[in-house]
Amino acid sequence: MTPAVFAVLDLDAARHNLSKVRSCAPTASIMAVVKANGYGHGLLRMAEALKNADAFAVARVDEGIELRKAGFNQRVVILEGFSNAEELDDVLFYHLEVVVHSLTQLVILESKTASDLCVVWLKLDTGMSRLGLTENEFALAYQRLTRCAAVKQPFNLMTHFANADDIYDNKTLKQISLFNETVAGLSGECSLANSAGVLGWETSLSDWVRPGIMLYGISPFPGSTGQQLGLKPVMTLQSRLIAVKQLNVDDTVGYGGSWTCSKPTVLGVVSIGYGDGYPRHAKVGTPVLVNCRRVQLIGRVSMDMITVDLGPGAYDKVGDPVTLWGDGLPIEEVAQYADTIPYALVCGITQRVRLIVRE
């Protein structure tokens, strides 16, 4: 039995997107970012599809452990690093690699013996003001790490961009320069670029790139689609019509009666709602594909259902296929109508949406 709501995952598309990263950054190694359950696509499934990457990156230690327990023995970088000694023990036990972004972490590392060698990515804050050491702290931290018995030498160096998705913002160039000046003459491999860096900032490519969203076929840039960048969507969110009815002038639709019918039309009810991760704030007019035809969302998004205007005289019937985003309907467009970003849409898919791999 096909479930009413499911997300079809095209793993060939993921492999295609990985090859797109390779062609954008032919000399760089690739750290495929699969945090947050592979951006909602399933951690293990995406790791399997992207196993030819040079390393994986996840946000948290438990995500790294999950990869290890499933048998992935590639390099795995924990982007948030560890935040206490117990987490560092897990990092060492499971041979994970860690971002070191604070002096607190440094002190914990210094208390470890030489028997457990840890691969470290020392992070400089070049303007994001989230994780990372300041320029002033960096030189001292570098020296201390060099003398740290538990750290594999030479360790790696990294930073993260705050605004790389705006290709007109000079801030990224300033971040690149500050990083390059700070690490000049130091040994260790370097990493700066996220997806926006890979696609928009050639001078950021360096030794390692860290693409996330582009691997899922989604554009990191507002106002463009993955397809326009040569990417293919991995996730297509699908459902079906569960009711079709005639609407007459002055009928109101949905909770709050916020949409009023001004000319007779046919209403379609689709089984998808915010309980599935469809954005509750999707506005009237958000595109939806019914039988491969674009129609518009009307009324409010409910927990389990949305309503669409099928148009006067529409022939659609109960059971007909509906696409909410993905193949044929760019998620970037849907995100814009919902005042959100595509990252949040794919990550927000809930447990009850069955993920199905397209063979």
Ligand X SMILES: *Cc1c(COP(=O)(O)O)cnc(C)c1O
Query: Which residues in this chain contact ligand X in the complex, by CB under 6 A?
Result: 33, 35, 79, 160, 194-195, 210-213, 220
DSSP assignment string, 118-174: BEEEEEB-SS--SSSB-HHHHHHHHHHHHT-TTB-SS-EEE---SSTT-TT-THHHH
Given the complex with ligand X, which of 33 and 297 has the nearer CB atom? 33
HEC string for 34-65: CHHHHHCCCHHHHHHHCCCCCEEEECCHHHHH
Residue pair 309/265 in contact by the 8 Å Cβ criterion? yes
**Three-state SS at 15:** helix
Question: Closest approach of Cβ 255 to ligand X, in Å?
Answer: 34
Q: Cβ closer to ligand X: 160 or 232?
A: 160
> Could you list the active site residues?
35, 255
> Which residue number has the CB closest to ligand X?
212
Min dist. Cβ of residue 206 to ligand X (A): 13
**Do residues 195 and 57 make contact, with C-beta atoms less than 8 angstroms apart?**
no
* CA triple 347-353-354, angle to 5 deg: 115
The answer to whether the CB of 81 falls within 8 A of the CB of 105 is: yes
- Residue 32 or 282: the one with the smaller Cβ distance to ligand X is 32
CB of 205 vs ligand X, minimal distance in Å: 13
- The distance of closest approach from Cβ of residue 319 to ligand X in the complex, given in angstroms and rounded to an integer, is 36
User: Cβ neighbours of residue 232 under 8 Å, at least 6 residues apart?
Assistant: 10, 12, 13, 16, 17, 217, 226
Bridge partners (DSSP) listed for residue 6: 238, 354
If you search the block for the tokens 């003459």, which residue do you land on?
185
CA-to-CA separations, 306 to 181, 269, 284, 341, in angstroms, rounded: 53, 6, 11, 20
Residue closer to ligand X by CB (options 160, 300) is 160
Nearer to ligand X, 35 or 300 (CB): 35
Least distance (Å) between residue 201 CB and ligand X = 12
